[in-house]
Every structure is written in structure tokens, then in C-alpha cells.
Structure 1
């Protein structure tokens, strides 16, 4: 497994070695001992799968009391996967990274606990799998508006393609209103430059 850095040091892209021939291909998607040695000493306790149509934008989601680290990959289609550092004591607080994950490039993105996560579907359909380090807790779920002006995420919105979001995501909090990790009583406004590391 090849490790690719992003501009957020704690967020990693993992690229497997793919073995292909006339029959198709084979590659290893996860090895616990390797992951703990090279990426993060965590245990995954839940795996989720989602299917979304083109133009769907999910996020930005996070849990505060039961924070989830996530290992995200795509088994069909392509997404622009985004995470935002919400740890107030982090050197990259308020910064984001966006990465294209697809069934073609086989890349996975490791998003540690303390980040908000979301994605936008750029293919006709996309199916995502993500392993989580804690269980989903509906009463602990928080959201930040995907188009928050302070975060200024450069989503690759497809012109003339209807944007599909849930009512919850459409009415999410602004970044300045959000409850954050290790948050002091007053969070100064931040304007961080995100990155868009394409393929």
C-alpha cells in the first residue's frame, strides 16, 4: 500500500498495489497490522455503505462525544471527498482537503477523529464504503453547512446539474456557530486556504 500525503498532515491517501490480467484484477484493501503501524493505531468497529446519484452532496458531518475516524473508499463511480479539521488546538484548524476517490483509482482516504466529512458525487452513481472507529450515535451527530463562506471549500459542482442535499444538510450550522473539538468559549473567525489535490 502506497501512502500519499495531503496538505493536512494527519489526513492520508492510501493507494493499493493492483494485480491485473485478462481475468480482471486483485488487490488488498486493508491489513490491520500494517494500518496500525503506518497510519493510526485504531480499531474499526463499524462499516457503512452508501449509494448516491450524480449531484448528491452529503455533509459536512461529525460526532463530538463519540468522534469517528473514517477510512473511505469507493467501489463504484467517483466522488470528491472532503474533510475539515475541527480540532481547535490543531495547527491546521479550519483547513480542508478534497480528494477524488473512485472505483478506477482504488484510493482510500484516512480521516482521523476530530474532522468533519462530506462528499460530492461526480459520476452518474457512486457507492462508498467507510470503516469507522466508533459507532454511529444519532444524538451526537453534528453538521456544518457545505458551502460555508469561512471554509470556502472548492466543490467541483457540475454546471446545470441539480444539487441534491438533505434538509438537514441544507439547514446545517455555519462554521462560526458550530460546536468544535477542544473549543474555547469564543472561536475567532478563521479564513484558511483549503487545497484541492486532484489525481
Structure 2
């Protein structure tokens, strides 16, 4: 029995879409492992006819994966041509390769330069067994989703800080007027907001009538 390691403790970590053709090419026990692993890590699994082997949606970010479970040293061209094609379609694409032997690893390294792959576009992730490979896929997808959420939070925080700075500048300008204190400045600011909302409401009424 495989030992499942839960990386994600959220109620819903995201959605995993698996290519139906890729699924049919794998051993049923491996598909069972994937299903159990995803469930343990709070991912929903859907089987759909997609171009990559997997697409994860985490935190509003889509991350695509090619998962090569059997490296054929005599037929590597299709793998790299597929990677080049999909990297133009997906901003976040990773290629996970199961390379359990040294010969397979050497074959990959030679082929990587032979087909003139651009470093990091896409990122290739060699592993030594397929279970480890899928665990890495989930880790990568989750990490990308977390990074995206942190980026959104940072942007909102920056916008909030900018709004606070603008308010402070407004109050500083108003209080520079003789006889106006902070209380008066805040009252003027709130009055300005009220007038703005009233104006916007008027525009809305006009638009509705039009």
C-alpha cells in the first residue's frame, strides 16, 4: 500500500484535470494511486480530453503538465515537439520525466540539447519513479497556486497603502489651511466621497433611462 503524504491542509486545494488518453495508457493501479493521492490532498479529479496530460487549477492559476512515465530512448522526438507546442499554449508548463536508469537520464540530457530546448521553457523535472513524479507534480501545482495568491495579496496591500497615503496627503493639504484641523479635514473628505457617490448614482439613473 502506498503511503500518502498530505502536503495541503486546505478544505479544497483545487482541481486536477487528467487527459483521458493518458489515463488509458497507464496501469490501473497507478491511476488508483493518483486518485487516492489527490483526494488525500483535497484535490478534485476530473477526466477530460485535454492537450497536456494534466492541468491543475490552484488559486485561480492554471498549471499544465506533461508526464512521461516511460522514457523510450528511440522515440524522444515526439516528447520534445509536444513540449514546444504546448509551451506556446500554456504560460505555466512543466514536463515530468520518469528516468529510473542512468542510460535513460543520459538519453534525456543528450536529447535536450539536440532538440535545442530553451532553459526553463518549459521546465523539465526528472524523477526516478512514477509515484514520486506525481507527488512532485502536485507540489509544483500547489506552490504555483500559493505564489499566485501571495502575489494578489501583495497587490491589494500595495493598493491599500497607496489609498492611505493619498488620504494622508489630502488631510495634510487641507489642514495646512488656517483654521482647519484634522477633524475638519476628515469631514471634508467624507463629504467629498458622499458627493462623488451621489454623482455616480445620478449617472447611473441617466444611463438606465437612456
Q: Using structure 2 for the length normalisation, give the TM-score.
A: 0.23
Higher strand share: 1
Computing the radius of gyration from Cα coordinates, the structure with the larger value is: 2
The two structures have a TM-score, normalised by structure 1, of: 0.24
Say which structure is richer in helix: 2
